[in-house]
């Protein structure tokens, strides 16, 4: 069997397992409703972390307004489904498209800026979105927010199945984009705009591509959030929420989708496990950030990605047999250095 067919089958099986295993565990009662709720919420945060990483880690532009796009996606889903009576799955896709359109409109003037200026302007646009949502009382419910109950709110099994499935699809979409010619051009822009421009790469166009794609993903995340929680208010567009999503990316590694998803799940579960500390648990993020900035400024994984294909090829080539010897050699080298 050809290698690419083997790799396709392997990735399909892993994707199916990632979706079905947690769903079956929830449906069978091995994972209770509380843990299932945290698992679903972590999945939404992972989608938002991917969105932030797309613009900050992959495109190389610091944006502090992703929470605004998330809120737009949530409110758009409610608008399409309850007022226009569009089927819910179609509403989610349309919400992502609407958010991507707003991302284009906002990105067109802002992406001509760089560095701190870009961060300040995107932060300002996020606050503008929040203020507009507060004042559009008929559509958004004003500062009190709007309720939106779906089957995801009531059935934890379907919630885990739906959110995990969408997360896997987004990871596949993003990884294929990064490996395409468009993705390579975006990475070139991230590394050096001047060099990319001198090679004939239209820098602004690829910045816009990354920004619009990140907005689309944030819109999908907002749709799933309101479907899971059953409520949305304009405060979800506040810049403090954007900072929360940025923390996942900083801890996981700028440019690493694997690190962002891993950080989103780990930190969400840690926050819940530390609830016995009450308000003192809010000190956890700052302490972790300080430690990471001191000892691992590039994040846990930096720009590295975990590859199931590479792991499969390594195991197939007998890598497991040589693993004990490698570990032994690593410790022996460490012992020699300490002795010296």
Backbone angles phi, psi at 303, to 5 degrees: -110, 10
Contact 251, 267 (CB under 8 A): yes
Helix 156-179 to helix 3-27 angle (10° resolution) is 160
For the cut 90, the answer to whether the pLDDT of residue 269 exceeds it is no
User: Got the DSSP string for 177-198?
Assistant: HHHSHHHHHHHHHHH-HHHHHH
- Say what the pTM is: 0.90
User: What percent of the chain stands above pLDDT 70?
Assistant: 91
334 falls in which pLDDT band (50, 70, 90)?
A: very low
- The Cα 100–Cα 103 span in angstroms is 5
Cα distance from N-terminal residue to C-terminal residue, the chain: 51
Overall fold of domain 16-306: ABC transporter involved in vitamin B12 uptake, BtuC (1.10.3470)
Residues 202-225 have a mean pLDDT of 91
What would the pLDDT profile of 6-32 be if each residue is shown by its tens digit?
A: 777 878 888 899 899 999 999 998 888
Q: Which pLDDT belongs to residue 327?
A: 60
Going by C-beta distance under 8 Å and a sequence separation of 6 or more, which residues neighbour residue 135? 142
For the cut 70, the answer to whether the pLDDT of residue 44 exceeds it is yes
Contact 66, 50 (CB under 8 A): no
What would the pLDDT profile of 74-99 be if each residue is shown by its tens digit?
A: 999 999 998 888 999 999 999 999 99
Residues 208-226 have a mean pLDDT of 93
- The Cα 56–Cα 64 span in angstroms is 9
Contact 17, 180 (CB under 8 A): no
Helix (H) or strand (E) holding 146: strand 146-147
Considering 67-81, 189-203, 270-284, the range whose residues carry the highest mean pLDDT is 67-81
Listed in sequence order, the DSSP H helices in the chain are 3-27, 33-53, 66-78, 88-110, 115-135, 137-140, 151-154, 156-179, 181-191, 193-198, 203-229, 239-252, 257-273, 284-295, 308-316, 319-339
Higher per-residue pLDDT: 287 or 217: 217
Q: Which pLDDT belongs to residue 48?
A: 94
């Amino acid at each position: 069997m050809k290698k690419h067919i083997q790799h396709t089958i392997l990735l399909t099986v892993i994707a199916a397992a990632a979706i079905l295993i947690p769903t079956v565990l929830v449906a069978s009662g091995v994972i209770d409703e509380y843990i299932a709720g945290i698992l679903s919420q972590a999945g939404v945060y992972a989608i938002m972390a991917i969105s932030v990483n797309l613009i900050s880690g992959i495109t190389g532009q610091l944006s502090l307004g992703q929470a605004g796009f998330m809120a737009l996606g949530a409110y758009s889903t409610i608008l399409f489904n309850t007022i226009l009576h569009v089927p819910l799955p179609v509403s989610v896709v349309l919400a992502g498209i609407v958010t991507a359109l707003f991302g284009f409109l906002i990105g067109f003037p802002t992406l001509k800026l760089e560095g701190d200026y870009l961060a300040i302007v995107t932060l300002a646009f996020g606050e503008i979105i929040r203020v507009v949502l507060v004042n559009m009382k008929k559509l958004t419910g004003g500062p009190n927010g709007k309720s939106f109950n779906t089957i995801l709110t009531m059935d934890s099994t379907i919630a885990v199945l739906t959110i995990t499935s969408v997360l896997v699809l987004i990871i596949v979409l993003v990884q294929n984009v990064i490996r395409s010619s468009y993705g390579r051009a975006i990475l070139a822009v991230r590394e050096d705009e001047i060099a990319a421009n001198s090679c004939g790469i239209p820098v602004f166009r690829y910045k816009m591509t990354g920004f619009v794609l990140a907005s689309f993903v944030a819109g999908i995340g907002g749709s799933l959030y309101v479907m899971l929680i059953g409520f949305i208010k304009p405060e979800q567009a506040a810049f403090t929420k954007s900072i929360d999503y940025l923390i996942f990316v900083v801890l996981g590694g700028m440019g690493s989708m694997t690190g962002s998803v891993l950080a989103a799940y780990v930190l969400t579960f840690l926050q819940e496990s530390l609830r016995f500390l009450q308000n003192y648990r809010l000190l956890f993020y700052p302490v972790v950030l300080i430690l990471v900035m001191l000892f691992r400024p590039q994040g846990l994984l930096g720009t590295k990605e975990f590859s199931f294909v590479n792991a499969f090829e390594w195991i197939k080539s007998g890598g497991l047999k040589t693993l004990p010897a490698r570990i032994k050699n690593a410790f022996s080298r460490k012992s020699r250095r300490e002795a010296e």
